[in-house]
Amino acid sequence: MNLKLVLRVIGRVLMLEAAALVLPMVVALLYGESAVPFALTICILLAAGLLMSAIPSAPHFYSREGFIAVGLIWLLVSLTGALPFYFSGEFPSFVDCLFESASGFTTTGATILADIESHSRGILFWRAFTHWMGGMGVLVLATAVVPSLGIRSHYLTQAETPGPVFSKLVPKQSQTSKILYSIYCALTLIEVACLRLAGMPLYDSFIHAFSSAGTGGFSNRNASVGAYGSVAIDLIITVFILLFSLNFAVYFLILTKKFKDALCSDELRFFVGVVTLSTLLIAFNISPLYANIWESLRYAVFQVASIISTTGFATADYVLWPHFAQTILILLMFCGACAGSTGGGMKCSRVLILFRSIRREIHRIVHPRSVEVVKLDGKVVEESTLQSITIFVGAYLLVILGATLVVSLDNFSFAVSFSAALTCVSNVGPGLELIGPTGNFLAFSQLSKLILSLCMIIGRLEIFPILILFSRHAWQRV
Amino acid sequence: MKIVIVGNGKVGFSLAEQLVREEHDITVVDVREDSLRRASDMLDIMVVRGNGVSAATLREAGADTADILVAATNSDEVNMVCCLTAKNQGTKYTIARIRNPEYTTSLAELRRNLKIDMVINPENATAVEISRLLRFPSAANIETFCRGRVELVGFRLQEEDFLVGRPIHTLSSQIKKLSLLFCAVERDDNVIIPNGSFVPQAGDKLYMVGRPVSLDQFFRVLGRYAPKVHSVFIVGGGKISLYLAQILDKMGMNLKIVEQNEARCRFISEHLPRAMILCGDGTDQELLDSERLTASDAFVALTDRDEDNLIISLYASQKGLSKVVTKSNRQNYNGIARSIGLDSILSPKQITASHILQVVRGMQNSQGSVMNALYRIADGAAEAMEFTVSTSTKHLGVPLKELKLVPGILIAVIVRGQEIIIPEGSSSLQANDNVIIISRGNGILDLNDIYAKAAPAASENGGRA
């Protein structure tokens, strides 16, 4: 493996992170808070980044370097992203800072903070901004703005972009990344404007726009979005988190006036179907708790959108809802958003292809000699892709089960341990009971917090870029 | 520029590889998923899976807005339909690979009816290239400029050559009179643009430009002058052989062609009544010896298998044939082949790719000075280009010694009317001159690209002989 190249790329990304930290530092200064935590982190990042990116190396990426670099970069970015929290002294321990930072970059939104509103504005801004960077991807950003990361740098973005198949919008990777980030920025700014018009303070608008753009879930209010009690704000956020959980290729197709291709995707229809069906089921199920059907619909659709997009905002404490509604939400956590979006979970296209493979398997049992291909959007899905999807789903479940086992050492109920593992791997945020929308992860042991942080990164990178780091073969020179 | 390549075979891939390096937006269309995956893993391109004749596939690949479409699938007919469809969708320039000899006779009509802007026949192009090498057997490679008035030849230095071990500027006046220029040297894997103090070593491959007559004389002085080729021994009876044999036959050479397939032998014999056709295994040394291989002046290996070609070429050169030409599509063998003494190695895929590349460069540069020819020498590490100087060219009339050129660029020859000038410090460019530029690496699209951004200073002087 070409370790020098990997280190050089890591160096460049750390410098990029240093540049990103300027923004919360400015916010802190604007509100008259101390900029020291940010300045200190920037110095450390710049020093490490300059040192690493000066390493000379051959510029050729191969699959191995790409995957290892992505895995290491996400671990390091989470680690260094925790430094401002640590230097601010507002967090109980470094592990808590790490958990918060990993939860931010992976757009999980799980927090260990009990009283969010007591924290300084610069820190809360950085917390939300990590969502925004992690949502579209740190390396996608790097390929868009850092020139000459290396030859075949698409291995980097490939490992970071969620979904069963990787495809570009235009031939050049750097161009693709630029288009993605332009769409991303534009949508975020539109959301800020909408929220501001709906009466949310400007600072809060930015925090919530960053959070929903990355489908993260950090809010600067203890009661999350519910604190505003405004139908308009609920609606705006519902629409935007759903928009951010669609494949960004859809927006590119719309921009290039290929409306038919954009709206006829199987995954999009599946996503819309799942959202509609879950909303109706939950609305009926929770209707006894609310005054009328409109009110229960309002809370149901927000919660469904928030969970399937793996954002994790809350307007109501769903822990108090009937178990049927809670179970639907848990199932939505598995499913997750669309491929190529900023959301987490297993991704709708994988679930859809899995269903179709199962149907084919049944056909095969009935007609043992039948030959049938699985299609998505009218195109044949390769057998190798089908196989990797099956393996992915298996690995996904194994990671969740393994994490549940470790977390259960803390002696919480099975619902808490399992939902903690699931919500972290799927990058959602809230779980059941203790860690519901109004709860937090403070009560877990240090070990559980570390494991859950790792789970978030494993889930964000779709498992293999992190698992490969534990493989002996990846590190061998030959 | 936006370029769509249909067919990700040998030519398609190497073309994509080259064009990506020049920062074009490339989309590759193919039906084979695995070959597309390999391409998209290795290159920064977009891939579209589908058949190139389908209008929907072409539209998905962006043929409606593409500047150039290259159809290089293995079927001539697919390539033709593909170009026609693309042209109707709005592609500005279409290039089709058409290799079936049956089509060559009606090519002009086909091109007009199918709106194909350029047709490339790799086998024919390779045959033309080989025939040129056989016409000038002293050189390992040969490229022509200005309709044959200037030639660029490459040859490998041997231990006993008098050039070895002394700086170029100390050469005798006899050589200096010849008006030719050592323009590039290939040493190991590097390309050097030599200056007067350059010391050639045995094993270097020297490239020089000049008039064909001067080059001829130079080889005479060097004692390497190979007499004209009168008889050629060809192994393999494929398309290239047929095209080559037809050209050589017209030049009045005696031909012996060895081909394994009897039906194919009959076919060749039908088209080439004067050539001697032998039915047998070309890799069989017994056959080669009994047919008096050593009595031929030149040997050309053109079987389907690169390995066979290399081995029998090696055998022929050991037998003392002075001119051995080998076809090898795999570039990774070239280094090995050179180390065992085979110099004239041609790859149809490279020849095709560089022809197309020349068109792409030319189109990109439609406003500036016109690029008339582009050759890639030293395995693509350097390029030789011919430009016509236009009035938009900068620094016209300024002596070269006052110009600052980009490093690795050499102005090798200036052709002004009937005159062929090997430039010196006092020479200058004038409008309507043809100039030949040697560039290490690539990326020169316009004549103005050769000037360094900084203030004028002394120019790089070539290794004048």
Supply the pLDDT for residue B442. 65
**Do the domains spanning B231-321 and B357-464 agree at the CATH topology level?**
no
Q: In chain B, which residues have their Cβ closer than 8 Å to the Cβ of A167? A: 46
Task: Find out whether B180 and B209 touch, Cβ atoms under 8 Å.
Answer: yes
Q: Which residues contact A301 (CB under 8 A, 6 or more apart)?
A: A238, A275, A279, A283
Q: Which of B44, B48, B54 to mutate to test the interface with A (most CBs of A within 10 A)?
A: B44
What is the fold of B2-120? Rossmann fold (3.40.50)
Cβ atoms of B230 and B256 closer than 8 Å: no
The model's pLDDT over B251-308, given as tens digits with 9 standing for 90+, comes to 888 999 999 999 999 999 998 888 899 999 888 888 888 888 888 889 999 998 888 9
DSSP notation for B16-47: HHHHHHTT-EEEEEES-HHHHHHHHHHSS-EE
Is B43 close to A175, i.e. CB distance below 8 A? no
CA dist B62 → A469, B27, B44, B52 (Å): 39, 8, 17, 12
The distance of B112 to chain A (nearest Cα, Å) reads: 31
**What pLDDT is recorded for position B462?**
43
For A231-250, what is each residue's pLDDT tens digit? 999 999 999 999 999 999 89
Average pLDDT over residues A347-355: 93
Query: Do the beta carbons of residue A242 and residue A305 sit within 8 Å?
Result: yes
- What is the topology classification, in CATH, of domain B357-464? Alpha-Beta Plaits (3.30.70)
Nearest to A171 among B33, B41, B46 (CB): B46
Which of B27, B44, B49 is the closest to A154 by Cβ? B44
| pLDDT confidence bin for A196, thresholds 50/70/90 | very high
Decide if A136 contacts A342 (C-beta within 8 A): yes
Q: Which residue has the higher pLDDT, B447 or B240?
A: B240
**Can you tell me the mean pLDDT for A276-299?**
92
What is the model's pLDDT at position B460?
Answer: 44
Neighbouring residues of B310: CB distance < 8 A, sequence distance ≥ 6: B301, B326, B328, B333, B336, B337, B342
Q: Give which of B41, B43, B67 to mutate to test A binding, by max A Cβ within 10 Å.
A: B41
d(Cα B335, Cα B326) in Å, to the nearest integer? Answer: 13
**Among candidate residues A191, A201, A278, A273, the one with its CA nearest the CA of residue A237:** A191
Q: Do B46 and A175 touch (CB under 8 A)?
A: no
In this structure, what token pair is assigned to residue B402? 């006052």
**Confidence class of residue A439 from pLDDT cuts 50, 70 and 90?**
confident
Arithmetic mean of pLDDT, A288-299: 90
User: In chain B, what are the domain boundaries?
Assistant: 2-120, 231-321, 357-464
Contacts with A64 from chain B: Cβ below 8 Å: none
Which three-class secondary structure state does DSSP give residue B153?
strand
Q: Work out the minimum CA distance from A5 to partner chain B, whole angstroms.
A: 17
Percent of chain A with pLDDT over 70: 98
Chain A interface includes B41 (CB < 8 A): yes
Res. A148 pLDDT band, cuts 50 70 90? low
pLDDT in tens, B46-90: 999 889 889 989 988 888 899 999 999 989 999 999 999 999 999
The predicted-structure confidence for A60-75, as pLDDT tens digits, reads as follows: 778 888 888 899 999 9
Cβ burial of A121 (10 Å; 0-12, 13-18, 19+) is middle
What is the maximum span of chain A, computed from C-alpha positions, in angstroms? 73
pLDDT, tens digit, 9 for 90 and up, residues A259-268: 888 888 899 9
Q: Are the CB atoms for B11 and B5 separated by under 8 Å? A: no
Residue B461 has pLDDT above 60, yes or no: no
| pLDDT in the model for residue B368 | 58
Q: Which of residues A58 and A425 earns the better pLDDT score?
A: A425
Q: At what angle do helices A202-213 and A231-244 cross, to 10 degrees?
A: 30
Mean pLDDT of A148-161: 74
Question: Measured between alpha carbons, how far is B126 from B110 in angstroms, rounded to an integer?
Answer: 22
The answer, yes or no, to whether residue B225 has pLDDT greater than 80, is no
- Over residues A440-478, the pLDDT tens digits come to 898 899 999 999 999 999 999 988 889 888 888 888 766
Chain B nearest CA to A87, separation (Å): 41
Copy the structure tokens of residue A134.
Answer: 């992690």
* pLDDT band, very low/low/confident/very high, at A206 (cuts 50, 70, 90): very high
| Cβ-based contacts of A173 with chain B (< 8 Å) | 44
- Tell me the per-residue pLDDT of B404-427, one tens digit each, with 9 for 90 and over: 888 888 888 888 888 888 888 888
Which conformational region is residue A307 in: left (phi greater than 0), alpha (psi within -120 to 50 degrees), or beta? alpha
Dihedral of the alpha carbons of B168, B171, B177, B181, in degrees to the nearest 10: -20
Q: Which residue has the higher pLDDT, B354 or B247?
A: B247
Model confidence at B456: pLDDT above 70? no
Architecture per CATH, B231-321: 3-Layer(aba) Sandwich (3.40)
Chain B residues near residue A175 by CB distance under 8 angstroms: 25
In angstroms, the CA A429 to CA A109 distance is 5
Instruction: Say whether residue B44 is in contact with chain A using an 8 A CB cutoff.
Output: yes
Distance from C-alpha of B65 to C-alpha of A300, rounded to nearest angstrom: 46
Of B327, B412, B394, the residue nearest B153 (C-alpha): B412
Q: Is A152–B44 a contact, with Cβ atoms under 8 angstroms apart?
A: yes
Nearest-angstrom CA–CA distance, A24 and B125? 63
Q: CA dihedral defined by A330, A334, A335, A336, rounded to 10 degrees? A: 90
- B27, B41, B44: residue with CB nearest A173: B44
Residue B30: exposed, middle, or buried by beta-carbon count in 10 A (0-12, 13-18, 19+)?
Answer: buried
Contact A168 B46 (CB under 8 A): yes
Q: B367 and B103 in contact (C-beta within 8 Å)?
A: no
CA atoms within 13 A on the CB side of A160: 29
Which one-letter DSSP state was computed for residue A151?
Answer: B
CA–CA min distance B91, chain A (Å): 17
Residue A114, min C-alpha distance to chain B (Å): 46
Q: Do B41 and A175 touch (CB under 8 A)?
A: no
Q: Which residues 8-37 of chain B have a CB within 8 Å of chain A?
A: 25-27, 33
Mean pLDDT value of segment A324-345: 92
Select the residue from A168, A261, A383 to test the B interface by mutation, using most B Cβ atoms within 10 A: A168
Reported in sequence order, the residue ranges of B98-241 that DSSP labels E, i.e. its strands, are 118-120, 141-145, 150-156, 180-187, 190-192, 205-210, 231-235
Q: Are the C-beta atoms of residues B313 and B287 closer than 8 Å to each other?
A: no
What is the mean predicted confidence (pLDDT) over A250-257? 90
Residues in chain B, total: 465
At A427 the pLDDT is: 92
CA angle, corner A394, sides to A393 and A398, nearest 5?
115
Greatest extent of chain B over all pairs of C-alpha atoms, in Å: 68
Q: Do the chains contact at A382 and B41, CB–CB below 8 Å?
A: no
Which ipTM value was assigned to this complex?
Answer: 0.76
Using beta carbons and an 8 Å cutoff, which residues of A are at the interface with B? 63, 152-155, 167-168, 170-173, 175, 379, 382
How far off is chain A from B26, nearest CA to CA, in Å? 6
Instruction: Check if the beta carbon of residue A75 is closer than 8 Å to that of residue A468.
Output: no
CB A385 within 8 A of CB A163: no
The pLDDT of residue A151: 67
The per-residue pLDDT for A213 is: 93
> Looking at residues B151-161, what average pLDDT do you find?
83
DSSP label of B159: T
Q: What are phi and psi of B218, to 5 degrees?
A: -60, -45
Angle at B153 between CA B151 and CA B157, to 5 degrees: 155
Give the single-character DSSP code of B451. Answer: B
